[in-house]
Amino acid sequence: MRFRYTEWDGTEFPTADSLGLFDSLMELIMHYGDQALESMPDLERDPEQSELLKQLIDDGMLEKAGARWRLTPRAINSMQRKALMEVFRNLRSGVTGGHETIEQGRDGERTDGTRPYTFGDPVSDIEMSRTLKNALNRSGPGTPIRIGESDFELHRTEGRTRCSMALLIDMSGSMSRWNRFYHAKKCAMAMHALIRQRFPADTIDLIGFHSTAEVIPEHRLPFMMPKPVTLYDPTVRARVPLDQAEKAPQYFTNLQMGMMMARRVLARRGGENKQIFIITDGQPTAHVQGDYLYVLYPPDRSTKIATLTEARQVAADGIRVATFALTEDYFYMDWVGFVDQLTRLTRGVAFYCAGGDLSTCIMESYLSGRKTKTYIA
């Protein structure tokens, strides 16, 4: 077990009342995003709630800039830790942690045995008894004991590998159903907390994809919301210049652009293992071709080909792909076949699960590094 100690900032622990209000506020934000903060003036007008809001400000959870309310970094960290605790309560027993390899390495837990020192190894891992024994065997008994570089031996440690992850979250209109998007946000927050606390050398980047795609900064994560449906026509066939993509309806699913953005982000990361986790609930319905954005519903073959072509490039870059398909009301639709094709093409892994099981699936996949296709009932 590892512990991390930091300097106490002098603030008092939150009271039960303020914790209860903050938990309620967190749930409100997770469900409604920015609209939750826009409702804060109503709470201010209630004398009892206003006093609790003041307590949250004093506790460093909320701040007010002019007429606008904002969550502090401390509040976001608290939300992430709470999400992580909820996920771990649901994890099945027997899940192993870490990213162990079969190779001996540095910075892992110590194991039995020693190995010779090589230039650049940390001196904190030197095994002194074996080192002294080697020096005595080489130079004979007596003092002073002269230790040479060849005498040093180090404790063996588990090999550790750094992972760089891009977490792609579907922001299309259908994600608002069945609380899917709520569970996806909570999962992303738990992953941020896990990586920060347990694997600080790893990186995680969040990318939201809808009719286009965008990198979501960590502080904006609690406020993410799926794009609202603005058209109800049974058939949509639209082509928009890419530099005017904001004029297109935004609630479609552009997985191709999400993977393109993930490849660019991961190319800047230094992890030895790179992976893309995709959370989605339907077939792609938008893609980029040349200088144009196409939004097509029902799903079109051209979008499928463009998306799978990008997936092939992801696999060629050595990036592992795990797809988490949310199945509350889609399990028997054709898009499951698309997920199977995506999985075979990338030699990745697919999970079919309900939104409530999403965090457990992703956490177990990240911790265990499983390579087999898994179905969650």
Q: Which helix (H) or strand (E) holds 336?
A: helix 335-346
Q: What mean pLDDT is reported for the chain?
A: 83
Cα 114 to Cα 130: distance, rounded to the nearest angstrom: 8
Q: 15-29, 74-88, 131-145, 166-180: which has the highest mean pLDDT?
A: 166-180
Q: Which of 26, 56, 71 finishes a domain?
A: 71
Range of the domain at 50: 16-71
Query: End of a domain among 113, 138, 160?
Result: 160
- The set of residues, in sequence order, having a beta carbon less than 8 Å from that of 128 and lying 6+ positions away, is none
For strands 213-216 and 163-170, give the pairing: unpaired
Task: State how far the Cα of 324 lies from the Cα of 280, in Å rounded to an integer.
Answer: 6
The CATH number linked to 201 is: 3.40.50.410
8 Å CB contact between 272 and 103: no
Are 297 and 249 a contacting pair, CB within 8 Å?
Answer: no
What band does 201 get if pLDDT is binned at 50, 70 and 90?
A: confident
* Structure confidence at residue 101 as a pLDDT band (50, 70, 90): very low
Asked whether the predicted pLDDT for residue 251 surpasses 90, the reply is yes
The per-residue pLDDT for 154 is 82
Contact 377, 327 (CB under 8 A): no
Residue 246 within any structural domain of the chain: yes
Q: Are residues 264 and 180 in the same domain?
A: yes
In this structure, the answer to whether residues 243 and 129 fall within a common structural domain is: no
Residue 321: inside a domain, yes or no?
yes
Give me the amino acid identity at 137. N
What pLDDT is attached to residue 91? 61
Asked whether residue 199 falls in the same domain as residue 320, the answer is yes
> Is 256 found in the same domain as 132?
no
Rounded-to-integer distance, Cα 184 and Cα 169, Å: 7
Asked, for residue 82, whether it belongs to a domain, the answer is no
> For residues 157 and 229, which has the higher predicted lDDT (pLDDT)?
229
For CA atoms 369, 167, 350, 33, give the dihedral sign. positive
240 plus 359 within the same structural domain: yes
Q: Between these two residues, 229 and 161, which has the higher pLDDT value?
A: 229
Long-range contacts of 177-180 (CB under 8 A, 24+ apart): 177/328, 177/329, 178/326, 178/328, 178/329, 178/354, 178/355, 179/355, 179/356, 180/281, 180/326, 180/328, 180/355
Residue 209: per-residue pLDDT: 98
Task: Work out how many domains the chain is built from and give that number.
Answer: 3
Residue 93 lies in a domain: no
**Is residue 25 within 8 Å of residue 82, measured between CB atoms?**
no
Considering the domain architecture, whether residues 139 and 26 belong to the same structural domain is answered as: no
Task: Give yes or no for residue 1 having a pLDDT over 90.
Answer: no
Lowest mean pLDDT among 69-73, 90-94, 97-101, 360-364: 97-101
Task: Quote the pLDDT of residue 41.
Answer: 82
pLDDT in tens, 112-152: 678 787 766 677 778 888 888 888 888 788 778 888 878 88
In a domain, 206, yes or no: yes
Task: For the full predicted model, state whether its pTM sits above 0.85.
Answer: no
Residue 89 lies in a domain: no
Say yes or no: 342 and 200 in one domain.
yes
Confidence of residue 207 (pLDDT cuts 50, 70, 90): very high
Question: Quick check: 7 pLDDT over 80?
Answer: no
Q: Do 365 and 272 belong together in one domain?
A: yes
- Name the more confident of 94 and 89: 89
Residue 77 domain-assigned (yes or no): no
Dihedral sign (CA 6, 26, 249, 288): positive
Question: In the prediction, which pLDDT does 271 show?
Answer: 77
Q: Note the pLDDT of residue 246.
A: 95
For 257-314, write each residue's pLDDT tens digit: 999 999 999 999 987 889 999 999 999 999 999 999 999 999 999 999 999 999 999 9
Q: What is the pLDDT of residue 369?
A: 57
The rounded distance, in Å, linking the Cα atoms of 38 and 34 is 6
Q: What pLDDT is attached to residue 377?
A: 37
pLDDT score, position 6 = 63
pLDDT value of position 350 = 92
Mean pLDDT for 222-251 is 95
Do 182 and 315 lie in one domain? The reply is yes
Looking at the fold, whether 182 and 305 belong to one and the same domain comes out as yes
> Which two tokens mark 230?
């603005």
Label residue 240 by pLDDT band (50, 70, 90). very high
Last residue of a domain, one of 71, 92, 110: 71
Percent of the chain topping pLDDT 70:
82
Is 156 inside a domain boundary?
yes
The answer to whether residues 144 and 227 belong to one domain is no
Specify whether 326 is located in the same domain as 352: yes
Residue 9 has pLDDT above 90, yes or no: no
Beta sheet of 153-160, edge-to-edge order: 100-104, 153-160, 110-116
